[in-house]
Protein backbone atom coordinates (compact mmCIF):
# COMPACT_ATOMS: atom_id res chain seq x y z
CA UNK A 1 0.00 0.00 0.00
CA UNK A 2 1.18 3.50 -0.77
CA UNK A 3 2.76 4.99 2.31
CA UNK A 4 2.26 8.56 1.14
CA UNK A 5 -1.54 8.15 1.09
CA UNK A 6 -3.70 7.99 4.17
CA UNK A 7 -7.16 6.44 4.13
CA UNK A 8 -9.96 8.60 5.45
CA UNK A 9 -12.53 7.49 7.97
CA UNK A 10 -15.96 7.84 6.35
CA UNK A 11 -17.53 8.70 9.71
CA UNK A 12 -15.16 11.66 10.05
CA UNK A 13 -16.33 13.24 6.79
CA UNK A 14 -19.04 15.90 6.78
CA UNK A 15 -22.28 15.29 4.86
CA UNK A 16 -21.06 16.96 1.68
CA UNK A 17 -17.78 15.01 1.76
CA UNK A 18 -19.68 11.76 2.34
CA UNK A 19 -21.83 12.44 -0.71
CA UNK A 20 -18.71 13.05 -2.81
CA UNK A 21 -17.15 9.88 -1.44
CA UNK A 22 -20.28 7.86 -2.24
CA UNK A 23 -20.46 9.32 -5.75
CA UNK A 24 -16.90 8.17 -6.43
CA UNK A 25 -17.62 4.70 -5.04
CA UNK A 26 -20.77 4.11 -7.11
CA UNK A 27 -19.04 5.55 -10.18
CA UNK A 28 -16.36 2.87 -9.87
CA UNK A 29 -19.04 0.18 -9.52
CA UNK A 30 -20.97 1.43 -12.54
CA UNK A 31 -17.79 1.51 -14.65
CA UNK A 32 -17.78 -2.30 -14.39
CA UNK A 33 -21.16 -2.26 -16.13
CA UNK A 34 -20.08 0.07 -18.95
CA UNK A 35 -21.27 3.35 -17.47
CA UNK A 36 -19.52 6.67 -17.07
CA UNK A 37 -20.96 9.14 -14.59
CA UNK A 38 -21.40 12.88 -14.65
CA UNK A 39 -22.03 14.63 -11.35
CA UNK A 40 -24.54 17.47 -11.52
CA UNK A 41 -24.05 20.70 -9.62
CA UNK A 42 -27.71 20.76 -8.60
CA UNK A 43 -30.55 18.26 -8.60
CA UNK A 44 -31.51 18.35 -12.27
CA UNK A 45 -35.02 16.89 -12.54
CA UNK A 46 -34.33 15.14 -9.24
CA UNK A 47 -30.99 13.61 -10.25
CA UNK A 48 -27.68 13.99 -8.45
CA UNK A 49 -25.79 12.49 -11.38
CA UNK A 50 -26.16 10.98 -14.82
CA UNK A 51 -24.92 7.51 -15.69
CA UNK A 52 -24.35 7.04 -19.41
CA UNK A 53 -23.92 3.51 -20.75
CA UNK A 54 -21.64 2.65 -23.67
CA UNK A 55 -24.84 1.84 -25.61
CA UNK A 56 -25.99 5.45 -25.21
CA UNK A 57 -28.65 4.79 -22.55
CA UNK A 58 -28.62 7.44 -19.84
CA UNK A 59 -29.94 7.02 -16.30
CA UNK A 60 -30.81 9.93 -14.06
CA UNK A 61 -29.72 8.85 -10.58
CA UNK A 62 -30.50 10.07 -7.07
CA UNK A 63 -27.71 9.19 -4.62
CA UNK A 64 -28.82 8.33 -1.09
CA UNK A 65 -27.02 7.33 2.08
CA UNK A 66 -29.69 4.69 2.76
CA UNK A 67 -32.83 3.20 1.22
CA UNK A 68 -35.39 5.95 0.71
CA UNK A 69 -38.50 6.74 -1.29
CA UNK A 70 -39.91 10.18 -1.94
CA UNK A 71 -43.11 11.23 -3.72
CA UNK A 72 -41.13 14.09 -5.31
CA UNK A 73 -39.21 11.47 -7.31
CA UNK A 74 -42.34 9.84 -8.72
CA UNK A 75 -43.01 9.95 -12.46
CA UNK A 76 -39.55 11.38 -13.18
CA UNK A 77 -37.90 8.18 -14.49
CA UNK A 78 -35.35 8.36 -11.66
CA UNK A 79 -33.08 5.63 -10.41
CA UNK A 80 -31.95 5.53 -6.79
CA UNK A 81 -28.64 4.21 -5.53
CA UNK A 82 -27.50 3.58 -1.98
CA UNK A 83 -24.96 1.48 -0.12
CA UNK A 84 -25.75 -0.94 2.66
CA UNK A 85 -22.84 -2.74 4.33
CA UNK A 86 -20.65 -2.56 1.21
CA UNK A 87 -23.57 -3.63 -1.00
CA UNK A 88 -24.51 -1.10 -3.68
CA UNK A 89 -28.04 -1.08 -5.06
CA UNK A 90 -29.34 0.77 -8.11
CA UNK A 91 -33.07 0.60 -8.76
CA UNK A 92 -35.88 2.37 -10.63
CA UNK A 93 -37.67 4.44 -7.98
CA UNK A 94 -41.27 4.08 -9.18
CA UNK A 95 -41.12 0.39 -10.02
CA UNK A 96 -39.64 -0.62 -6.67
CA UNK A 97 -41.86 1.83 -4.77
CA UNK A 98 -44.97 0.10 -6.15
CA UNK A 99 -43.72 -3.24 -4.82
CA UNK A 100 -42.66 -1.80 -1.45
CA UNK A 101 -46.06 -0.14 -0.95
CA UNK A 102 -47.77 -3.49 -1.59
CA UNK A 103 -45.49 -5.59 0.61
CA UNK A 104 -44.79 -3.26 3.56
CA UNK A 105 -46.70 -0.85 5.77
CA UNK A 106 -44.91 2.38 4.79
CA UNK A 107 -47.99 3.66 2.96
CA UNK A 108 -49.79 3.88 6.30
CA UNK A 109 -47.04 5.77 8.14
CA UNK A 110 -47.29 9.46 9.02
CA UNK A 111 -43.95 10.05 7.31
CA UNK A 112 -45.31 8.80 3.98
CA UNK A 113 -48.83 10.22 4.29
CA UNK A 114 -47.89 13.67 5.63
CA UNK A 115 -44.38 14.30 4.32
CA UNK A 116 -44.41 12.07 1.25
CA UNK A 117 -41.14 10.36 2.05
CA UNK A 118 -39.87 7.38 3.93
CA UNK A 119 -36.36 6.17 4.68
CA UNK A 120 -35.30 2.86 6.13
CA UNK A 121 -32.59 2.83 8.80
CA UNK A 122 -32.14 -0.91 8.16
CA UNK A 123 -33.01 -3.25 5.30
CA UNK A 124 -35.36 -6.02 6.37
CA UNK A 125 -35.45 -9.51 4.87
CA UNK A 126 -38.49 -8.49 2.78
CA UNK A 127 -36.76 -5.37 1.46
CA UNK A 128 -33.59 -7.30 0.72
CA UNK A 129 -35.68 -9.77 -1.31
CA UNK A 130 -37.38 -6.94 -3.23
CA UNK A 131 -34.03 -5.26 -3.91
CA UNK A 132 -32.07 -8.41 -4.81
CA UNK A 133 -32.39 -7.92 -8.61
CA UNK A 134 -30.88 -4.45 -8.19
CA UNK A 135 -27.75 -5.41 -6.23
CA UNK A 136 -24.87 -4.16 -8.41
CA UNK A 137 -21.89 -4.75 -6.11
CA UNK A 138 -20.97 -6.42 -2.89
CA UNK A 139 -17.71 -6.76 -0.99
What is the tens place of the pLDDT at every residue in 69-127? 999 999 999 999 999 988 999 999 999 999 999 999 999 999 999 999 999 999 999 99
pLDDT of residue 138: 72
Domains of the chain and CATH, by start: 10-138 (3.40.1350)
Position 2 pLDDT exceeds 90 = no
CB 58 within 8 A of CB 44: no
Which residue in 28, 49, 48, 53 sits closest to 38, CA to CA?
49
Q: Order of strands across the sheet with 87-92? A: 35-44, 47-53, 58-63, 78-84, 87-92, 135-138
Instruction: For residues 3 and 6, give the distance between their C-alpha atoms in angstroms, rounded to a whole number.
Output: 7
Residue 139 has pLDDT above 70, yes or no: no
pLDDT of residue 50: 97
CA dist 54 → 3, 32, 34 (Å): 36, 11, 6
Q: Are 101 and 52 in contact (CB under 8 A)?
A: no
* Rounded to 5°, angle at Cα 69 from 65 and 74: 130
The pLDDT value recorded for residue 25 is 95
> How confident is the model over 3-61, as pLDDT tens digits?
889 999 999 999 999 999 999 999 999 999 999 999 998 877 889 999 999 999 999 99
Amino acid sequence: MARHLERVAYDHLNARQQESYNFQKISAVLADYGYVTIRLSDDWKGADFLAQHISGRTLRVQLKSRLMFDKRYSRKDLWVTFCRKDEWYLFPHDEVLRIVLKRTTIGRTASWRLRGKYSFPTVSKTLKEILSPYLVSQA
